[in-house]
Amino acid sequence: MAFENASAGQEPRATARGSLFAHRIEQKTILSAVVGLILAVLVLPPLYFLVVGAVSVEEGAQTRYTLERFVMLLSQRGILISTWNSFVFAIGSALLSLLIGGLAAWLVERTNAPLKSVTYLTNVVALGTPYVLYTSAWLLLLARSGPINTWYRQLTGETGVIINVYGMGGMILIEGLLWSPLVFLLLGATLRNFNPALEEAARMSGATTWGTIRRVTLPLSMPAILALSMLVFIRTIEAFEVPALVGLPGRVHVLTTDIYEMMHRTMPPDIGSASALSLILLFIVGALLFWYGRLTRNAEKFATVTGKSFRPNQIDLGAWRPLAGFALAFYFFLLIVLPAFILVWASLLPFYQTFRSQAFPLLTLDNYRAILNSPRYISLVVNTLLIGFVSASVVMLLTAVSAWLTVRKAPGARVLDNLGTAPLVFPGIVLGVGVMQFFLQVPVGIYGTVWIIVWALVINYLPYGVRYSYAGMIQLHRELEEAAAASGATPLTGFRRIVFPLLAPSLIAGWLFIFLLATRALSLPVLLSGPSSQTMAVAMFDLWGNGQGPELAALGLMWSLSMTCIAVVFYLVARRGGGLQRA
């Protein structure tokens, strides 16, 4: 959304040649229409069916249209509390993740702190781990019977708890930890590309290190930090895993869990109210995104990234260096060691209990055996990888063509761009309700198959694809295509033989990013998966709810290990292509 105007200044300069290429321009027009149609078919129906679902009331054979559901929802105390909770939760998590991830990023990118590679590894592993697994791990750690509270009781003789995780505090803590790695990766990119000239000037004028940070580095990074916090804020408003697993037992409701409960926990499911509440949430997110767009547009004035080649200088921490090392070690400990430790422990138990010596005789490999012997888990792996692969490929293909048409000012380019970025306003759970409504009303036989999930995920990740493709595309000058055209190639051939290969690094980075997101997505598949289309994250969510924590731990460990390998590839590709900036 932030780059809508970025392609200005690339006006077609050939006028006389225009007529010569008339039939080729026509080809672009057709292509533009086709891509636009595909995007419209993807993006518009869920919205339409949400609106219809929200305002129509069936009374026998008659259908009545009314706004009463909105009135009812907005006058309900429960919904207002949920809205308030959503905001508190999102603000808290955004601040916490910014603090943790931001500090780690600054230490790694701008100082001579030790343990940098360990910190990179931490974030890459976190990128490949489903949130639902992370959340259950921290729940095991922080619960009343978890090691922390148990040791507290043993040390003090108290009978209560030192941390009650099932509440707003616990939700913010866990969500904040979940988002820290992404903050690290995104902010790290900004800090890495920082022009040191101003900082040097400050220091030469006699400013201290701290003074430089406070008066130069921080204000200059402010737009990036603000934009990033806005992004995390929006994403946590839409979050589902933590509110479902942590909030609901603690009776803290947010908007996403309210929607989920309307769909799943009332008999019969109240799809009308769920649609109406979805639209309310959609409106909130839309307003925030509009603001976010304004914020990032102004950010261009703060040109911290220029074409000049430079390497930002690193601050010598001096005596503080061991402390910084300790902080990064703690980050690693918090995000990897602790969750991994409790998951390994849980995975070896026949039934879950806290870490204590009495449980040692019970340790068993049965959970691993059960998973490896169950054909069901093979189909989970196949489904998840298939969904990830197809969604990522479709998104990148669609957005590559659409970005090309947009940048080259094909007819209707503006519409393509807007359609591609519009799904940003859909929280996963809202999109799930919309897509479900669509396929319930238009029975084409993909309901309950993997394809409905792919369909929904493609919509969900279109904006990410647009970002990667567009950012890659604006770097390509049109003279290469003109050379191709002069040699007799059609625009489509030019795209296929010239643009596409040159775009490849951006496309691969985007593909991997979407693949990783798709394979761990929960809020969409949880609404849409059928008996033969379960995904890994849904299975983990079910295992947790069905009382199979130990099996969940074993499954999660094995899965995360394999996804980490893919995340490492992503990281290497993205680092080379600078793709992380666009994530």
Partner 1 sequence: MKAALNMLAIALTAVLASLAPAAAADPALIAAAKKEGQLTWYTTQIVNQFARPAAEAFQKKYGIRVNYIRADSNEVTLRIQNEGKAGRVQADVFDGTGATAALKNNNLVAKYIPQSADRLPAQFKDKDGYWVATNLYVLTPAFNTELVEKGTQPKTFQDLLDPKWRGKMAWNSSVTPSGGAGFVGVVLAHMGEEKGMAYLRQFSGQKITGLQVAARQVLDQVIAGEYSIALNMFNNHAVISAAKGAPVEWIAMEPALGVFSCLSLTAGAPNPNAGKLFMDFLMSEEGQKLYRDADYLPVDPAVQPKDPALRPGEKTFPAIFMTPEQVFDNLPKWGAIYKDVFR
Per CB under 8 A, residues contacting partner 1 are 143-145, 150, 166, 244, 248-249, 251, 263-269, 350-354, 362, 370, 374-376, 436, 439-440, 443, 445, 447-448, 530-532, 534, 542, 544-549, 551
Q: Which is nearer to partner 1, 376 or 414 (CB)?
A: 376
CA dihedral 392, 397, 403, 405 (to 10 degrees): -160
Q: How far apart are CA 86 and CA 41, in angstroms?
A: 31
The one-letter code for the residue type at 563 is: M
Provide CB contacts within 8 A for 167, sequence distance 6+.
Answer: 250, 252
Looking at the Cβ atoms of 49 and 106, the one nearer to partner 1 is: 49
| Main-chain dihedrals φ then ψ at residue 57, nearest 5 degrees | -120, 125
Q: Determine how many CB atoms are found less than 10 A away from the CB of residue 409.
A: 15
Count of CB atoms situated within 10 Å of the CB of 571:
21
Q: Could you give the CA distance from residue 65 to residue 69 in angstroms, rounded to a whole number?
A: 10
Token readout for 579 is: 């793709």
Nearest distance from C-beta of residue 439 to partner 1, angstroms:
6
Smallest distance, partner 1 to C-beta of residue 167, A: 12
> CA torsion, points 480, 416, 439, 376, in degrees to nearest 10?
40
Shortest distance, position 441 Cβ to partner 1, whole Å: 8
Q: Record the tokens describing residue 39, joined without a space.
A: 């995007």
Q: Which is nearer to partner 1, 164 or 564 (CB)?
A: 164
Three-state DSSP state, 62 = strand
Residue 338 CB, nearest distance to partner 1 (Å)? 18
Between 245 and 430, name the residue whose CB sits nearer to partner 1: 245
Tell me phi and psi for residue 56, to 5 degrees: -100, 140
Phi-psi region of 113 (alpha: psi -120 to 50; beta: other; left: phi over 0): beta
**Per-residue tokens: 340:** 């991994």
Q: Shortest approach of partner 1 to residue 440 CB, angstroms?
A: 5
Closer residue to partner 1, CB minimum distance, 322 or 350: 350
Task: State which amino acid sits at residue 423.
Answer: P
CB nearer to partner 1: pick between 501 and 545: 545
Burial of 421 (0-12, 13-18, 19+ CB in 10 A): buried
3-class DSSP state of 124:
helix
Q: How far apart are CA 296 and CA 419, in angstroms?
A: 20
Q: What is the Cα Rg of the chain in Å?
A: 25
Task: Tell me the closest approach of the beta carbon of residue 76 to partner 1, in angstroms.
Answer: 13
Is 513 in contact with 464 (CB distance < 8 Å)?
yes
Q: How far is the CB of 367 from partner 1 (least distance, A)?
A: 9
Q: CB 530 → partner 1: shortest distance, Å?
A: 5
Q: Nearer to partner 1 by C-beta: 80 or 440? A: 440
Cα 520 to chain centroid distance, Å, stands at 10
Least distance CB 352 / partner 1 (angstroms): 5
Residue number, 9 or 531, with CB nearest to partner 1: 531
- In whole angstroms, give the CA distance from residue 308 to residue 302: 15
Q: Name which of 289 and 526 has its Cβ closer to partner 1.
A: 526
* Residue 290 or 351 having the CB closest to partner 1: 351
Give least dist CB 266 to partner 1, A.
7
432 backbone dihedrals φ, ψ, rounded to 5°: -60, -45
At a CB cut-off of 8 Å and minimum separation 6, what does 128 contact? 516, 520, 560, 563, 564, 565, 566, 567
Q: Give the shortest CB-42-to-partner 1 separation in angstroms.
A: 19
Beta carbon nearer to partner 1, 12 or 78: 78
Q: Which residues contact 149 (CB under 8 A, 6 or more apart)?
A: 142, 143, 161, 162, 163
- Least distance in Å: CB of 532 to partner 1? 6
Q: How far is the CB of 57 from partner 1 (least distance, A)?
A: 17
Task: Tell me whether residue 463 or residue 549 sits nearer to partner 1 (CB atom).
Answer: 549
Q: Which residues contact 361 (CB under 8 A, 6 or more apart)?
A: none
Place of tokens 């995920």: 457
Residue 266 vs 562, nearer CB to partner 1 = 266
Estimate to the nearest angstrom the gap between the alpha carbon of 330 and the chain centroid: 25
